[in-house]
Amino acid sequence: MTAPVSPETMTEAGRALAAESARFAGFGWMRGTGGNLSVVVQRDPLLLAVTASGLDKSELSERDVVLVDAAGRPADPSDPRPPSAEAGLHAHIAARTGARAVFHVHAIDSVIAGHRWPQGVDIRDLEMLKGIGHPAHDVTVRVPVIPNHQDMAVEAARFDEVYRDPVPGVPEVPALIVAGHGMYAWGDSVMAARRHLEITEWLLRYLVAVER
Ligand SMILES: CSC[C@@H](O)[C@@H](O)C(=O)COP(=O)(O)O
Ligand SMILES: [Zn+2]
Protein backbone atom coordinates (compact mmCIF):
# COMPACT_ATOMS: atom_id res chain seq x y z
CA MET A 1 0.00 0.00 0.00
CA THR A 2 1.41 3.40 -0.92
CA ALA A 3 1.56 6.38 1.42
CA PRO A 4 -1.21 8.94 0.78
CA VAL A 5 1.35 11.79 0.69
CA SER A 6 4.55 11.90 -1.37
CA PRO A 7 7.94 11.32 0.28
CA GLU A 8 9.01 14.76 -0.97
CA THR A 9 6.13 16.42 0.86
CA MET A 10 7.01 14.58 4.07
CA THR A 11 10.71 15.45 3.73
CA GLU A 12 9.88 19.12 3.20
CA ALA A 13 7.62 19.09 6.27
CA GLY A 14 10.26 17.24 8.28
CA ARG A 15 12.95 19.72 7.32
CA ALA A 16 10.80 22.67 8.37
CA LEU A 17 9.80 21.08 11.69
CA ALA A 18 13.34 19.96 12.52
CA ALA A 19 14.53 23.55 12.09
CA GLU A 20 11.72 24.93 14.29
CA SER A 21 12.37 22.23 16.89
CA ALA A 22 16.08 23.05 17.10
CA ARG A 23 15.18 26.73 17.48
CA PHE A 24 12.70 26.14 20.33
CA ALA A 25 14.99 23.60 22.02
CA GLY A 26 17.66 26.31 21.97
CA PHE A 27 15.27 28.52 23.95
CA GLY A 28 14.89 25.72 26.56
CA TRP A 29 11.26 25.11 25.59
CA MET A 30 11.70 21.49 24.40
CA ARG A 31 13.90 19.93 27.05
CA GLY A 32 14.60 16.25 26.48
CA THR A 33 11.67 14.71 24.62
CA GLY A 34 9.23 17.49 25.62
CA GLY A 35 7.08 19.17 22.98
CA ASN A 36 5.92 18.29 19.46
CA LEU A 37 5.27 20.10 16.18
CA SER A 38 3.02 19.53 13.17
CA VAL A 39 2.13 20.90 9.76
CA VAL A 40 -0.94 20.19 7.65
CA VAL A 41 0.08 18.37 4.44
CA GLN A 42 -3.46 17.81 3.12
CA ARG A 43 -6.68 19.59 4.10
CA ASP A 44 -9.50 17.36 2.88
CA PRO A 45 -9.38 14.80 4.27
CA LEU A 46 -7.07 16.22 6.90
CA LEU A 47 -3.53 14.82 7.10
CA LEU A 48 -0.66 16.20 9.16
CA ALA A 49 3.06 15.55 9.39
CA VAL A 50 3.80 15.42 13.13
CA THR A 51 7.04 14.82 14.97
CA ALA A 52 7.62 11.18 15.90
CA SER A 53 7.14 10.29 19.57
CA GLY A 54 9.85 10.07 22.18
CA LEU A 55 12.72 11.73 20.31
CA ASP A 56 15.08 14.33 21.73
CA LYS A 57 13.59 17.45 20.17
CA SER A 58 16.93 19.28 20.02
CA GLU A 59 18.29 16.99 17.31
CA LEU A 60 15.49 16.02 14.93
CA SER A 61 16.22 15.31 11.28
CA GLU A 62 14.01 15.76 8.22
CA ARG A 63 13.00 12.08 8.53
CA ASP A 64 11.54 12.44 12.05
CA VAL A 65 7.92 13.13 11.09
CA VAL A 66 4.99 10.71 10.89
CA LEU A 67 1.79 11.08 8.85
CA VAL A 68 -1.43 11.19 10.91
CA ASP A 69 -5.14 11.59 10.18
CA ALA A 70 -7.77 13.90 11.68
CA ALA A 71 -7.85 11.81 14.87
CA GLY A 72 -4.07 11.81 15.21
CA ARG A 73 -3.82 8.15 14.18
CA PRO A 74 -0.98 6.89 11.95
CA ALA A 75 -1.99 7.27 8.30
CA ASP A 76 0.94 5.63 6.50
CA PRO A 77 0.76 1.84 6.92
CA SER A 78 4.37 1.49 5.73
CA ASP A 79 5.72 3.63 8.61
CA PRO A 80 6.05 1.71 11.93
CA ARG A 81 7.13 4.70 14.02
CA PRO A 82 4.68 6.08 16.62
CA PRO A 83 3.49 9.63 16.05
CA SER A 84 3.57 12.13 18.89
CA ALA A 85 1.37 11.07 21.80
CA GLU A 86 -0.30 14.48 21.41
CA ALA A 87 -0.99 14.22 17.66
CA GLY A 88 -4.74 14.03 18.33
CA LEU A 89 -4.82 17.52 19.81
CA HIS A 90 -2.69 18.90 16.97
CA ALA A 91 -5.13 17.47 14.43
CA HIS A 92 -8.11 18.81 16.34
CA ILE A 93 -6.65 22.32 16.57
CA ALA A 94 -5.82 22.29 12.84
CA ALA A 95 -9.35 21.13 11.99
CA ARG A 96 -11.11 23.54 14.35
CA THR A 97 -9.10 26.68 13.63
CA GLY A 98 -7.98 26.11 10.04
CA ALA A 99 -4.33 26.39 11.11
CA ARG A 100 -1.64 24.97 8.83
CA ALA A 101 0.98 24.60 11.59
CA VAL A 102 0.55 23.72 15.27
CA PHE A 103 3.40 23.93 17.78
CA HIS A 104 3.53 22.56 21.34
CA VAL A 105 6.33 23.35 23.81
CA HIS A 106 6.96 23.00 27.55
CA ALA A 107 8.03 26.62 28.11
CA ILE A 108 8.27 27.02 31.89
CA ASP A 109 6.51 30.42 31.99
CA SER A 110 3.45 28.91 30.32
CA VAL A 111 3.30 26.27 33.05
CA ILE A 112 3.66 28.89 35.79
CA ALA A 113 0.96 31.04 34.17
CA GLY A 114 -1.40 28.06 33.94
CA HIS A 115 -0.79 27.32 37.62
CA ARG A 116 -1.37 30.92 38.70
CA TRP A 117 -4.41 31.66 36.50
CA PRO A 118 -6.26 28.35 35.89
CA GLN A 119 -9.35 30.21 34.59
CA GLY A 120 -7.33 31.83 31.79
CA VAL A 121 -4.52 34.35 31.53
CA ASP A 122 -5.76 37.91 30.95
CA ILE A 123 -3.39 40.26 29.18
CA ARG A 124 -3.81 43.93 28.23
CA ASP A 125 -1.94 47.13 27.45
CA LEU A 126 1.16 45.55 26.00
CA GLU A 127 2.59 46.42 22.57
CA MET A 128 3.43 42.76 21.91
CA LEU A 129 -0.30 41.91 21.79
CA LYS A 130 -0.22 43.29 18.24
CA GLY A 131 1.99 40.34 17.31
CA ILE A 132 -0.92 37.97 17.92
CA GLY A 133 -3.32 40.22 16.05
CA HIS A 134 -4.89 42.13 18.97
CA PRO A 135 -4.83 45.83 19.92
CA ALA A 136 -2.01 47.06 22.13
CA HIS A 137 -4.40 49.05 24.35
CA ASP A 138 -7.77 48.96 26.11
CA VAL A 139 -8.75 45.37 25.25
CA THR A 140 -8.27 42.35 27.50
CA VAL A 141 -7.03 39.29 25.65
CA ARG A 142 -7.49 35.92 27.37
CA VAL A 143 -5.15 33.01 26.72
CA PRO A 144 -7.33 30.03 27.70
CA VAL A 145 -6.15 27.35 30.13
CA ILE A 146 -7.38 23.74 30.15
CA PRO A 147 -6.46 20.99 32.64
CA ASN A 148 -3.97 18.37 31.56
CA HIS A 149 -5.15 14.90 30.48
CA GLN A 150 -3.40 12.00 28.77
CA ASP A 151 -6.37 11.32 26.44
CA MET A 152 -6.27 13.74 23.50
CA ALA A 153 -10.01 13.28 22.85
CA VAL A 154 -10.61 14.76 26.32
CA GLU A 155 -8.21 17.61 25.56
CA ALA A 156 -9.91 18.24 22.22
CA ALA A 157 -13.30 18.57 23.94
CA ARG A 158 -11.77 20.92 26.51
CA PHE A 159 -10.26 22.98 23.70
CA ASP A 160 -13.69 23.40 22.15
CA GLU A 161 -15.05 24.68 25.47
CA VAL A 162 -12.54 27.53 25.63
CA TYR A 163 -11.81 28.37 21.98
CA ARG A 164 -13.48 31.52 20.64
CA ASP A 165 -13.92 31.69 16.88
CA PRO A 166 -12.75 34.93 15.28
CA VAL A 167 -15.53 37.41 14.49
CA PRO A 168 -15.26 40.66 12.51
CA GLY A 169 -13.09 43.02 14.55
CA VAL A 170 -12.10 40.38 17.11
CA PRO A 171 -9.45 37.90 15.93
CA GLU A 172 -8.91 34.53 17.53
CA VAL A 173 -6.31 34.04 20.27
CA PRO A 174 -3.94 31.59 18.53
CA ALA A 175 -2.63 29.97 21.71
CA LEU A 176 -3.64 27.61 24.51
CA ILE A 177 -2.11 26.70 27.87
CA VAL A 178 -2.40 23.15 29.21
CA ALA A 179 -2.04 23.40 33.00
CA GLY A 180 0.87 21.54 34.53
CA HIS A 181 2.16 20.77 31.06
CA GLY A 182 2.91 23.51 28.51
CA MET A 183 1.41 25.55 25.71
CA TYR A 184 0.22 25.32 22.10
CA ALA A 185 0.23 27.99 19.40
CA TRP A 186 -0.80 27.80 15.78
CA GLY A 187 -1.03 29.79 12.58
CA ASP A 188 -1.68 29.61 8.86
CA SER A 189 2.00 28.94 8.12
CA VAL A 190 5.08 27.72 9.96
CA MET A 191 6.21 31.34 10.29
CA ALA A 192 2.85 32.44 11.72
CA ALA A 193 2.78 29.59 14.25
CA ARG A 194 6.34 30.43 15.30
CA ARG A 195 5.47 34.12 15.67
CA HIS A 196 2.37 33.34 17.74
CA LEU A 197 4.30 30.91 19.95
CA GLU A 198 7.20 33.26 20.58
CA ILE A 199 5.05 36.32 21.18
CA THR A 200 2.62 34.53 23.49
CA GLU A 201 5.51 33.08 25.46
CA TRP A 202 6.97 36.60 25.78
CA LEU A 203 3.62 37.91 27.08
CA LEU A 204 3.34 35.06 29.60
CA ARG A 205 6.94 35.53 30.69
CA TYR A 206 6.28 39.23 31.31
CA LEU A 207 3.08 38.53 33.24
CA VAL A 208 4.52 35.90 35.58
CA ALA A 209 7.40 38.28 36.31
CA VAL A 210 5.30 41.34 37.19
CA GLU A 211 1.92 39.98 38.43
CA ARG A 212 2.24 38.12 41.71
C1 LIG B 1 8.89 14.90 28.72
S2 LIG B 1 7.95 14.37 27.36
C3 LIG B 1 6.28 14.41 27.84
C4 LIG B 1 5.35 13.88 26.79
O5 LIG B 1 4.40 13.07 27.44
C6 LIG B 1 4.61 14.95 26.00
O7 LIG B 1 4.00 15.88 26.83
C8 LIG B 1 5.41 15.65 24.98
O9 LIG B 1 5.37 16.85 24.85
C10 LIG B 1 6.24 14.87 24.02
O11 LIG B 1 5.59 13.69 23.61
P12 LIG B 1 5.89 13.05 22.18
O13 LIG B 1 5.09 11.78 22.16
O14 LIG B 1 7.39 12.79 22.11
O15 LIG B 1 5.47 14.04 21.16
ZN1 LIG C 1 3.82 17.90 25.99
All structural domains of the chain? 7-210 (3.40.225.10)
Assess whether the C-beta atom of 11 lies below 6 angstroms from ligand 1.
no
- The dihedrals phi and psi of 184, each to the nearest 5 degrees, come to -120, 150
- Identify the residue whose C-alpha is closest to ligand 1 atom 2: 34
Instruction: Check whether 134 is labelled as a binding-site residue.
Output: no
Sign for the pseudo-dihedral over CA of 160, 162, 167, 170: negative
**3-class DSSP state of 111:** helix
Could you identify the atom of ligand 1 that is nearest to the CA of residue 50?
Answer: 15
* Residues paired with residue 185 on neighbouring β-strands, in sequence order: 103, 175
Could you identify the atom of ligand 1 that is nearest to the CA of residue 106?
Answer: 9
What is the mean pLDDT, run by run of 10 residues, along the chain of 212 residues? 86 98 98 97 98 98 98 96 98 98 98 98 98 96 98 98 96 98 98 98 98 84
Assess whether the C-beta atom of 54 lies below 6 angstroms from ligand 1.
yes
Instruction: Check whether 106 is labelled as a binding-site residue.
Output: yes
Residue 3 is predicted with a pLDDT of 73
Assess whether the C-beta atom of 38 lies below 6 angstroms from ligand 1.
no
Given 3-state DSSP classes, what are the helix, strand and coil percentages for the chain, each rounded to the nearest 5?
35, 20, 40
The tally of CA atoms less than 13 A away on the side-chain side of residue 206 is 14
ipTM topping 0.95: yes
Residue 2 is predicted with a pLDDT of 66
Contact indicator for 173, 140 with CB cutoff of 8 Å:
no
Residue 74 is predicted with a pLDDT of 98
Residue from 65, 84, 151, 178 to probe ligand 1 pocket by mutation (most atoms less than 8 Å from CB): 84
Residue 161 CA to residue 37 CA, distance in Å, equals 23
Could you identify the atom of ligand 1 that is nearest to the CA of residue 82?
Answer: 13
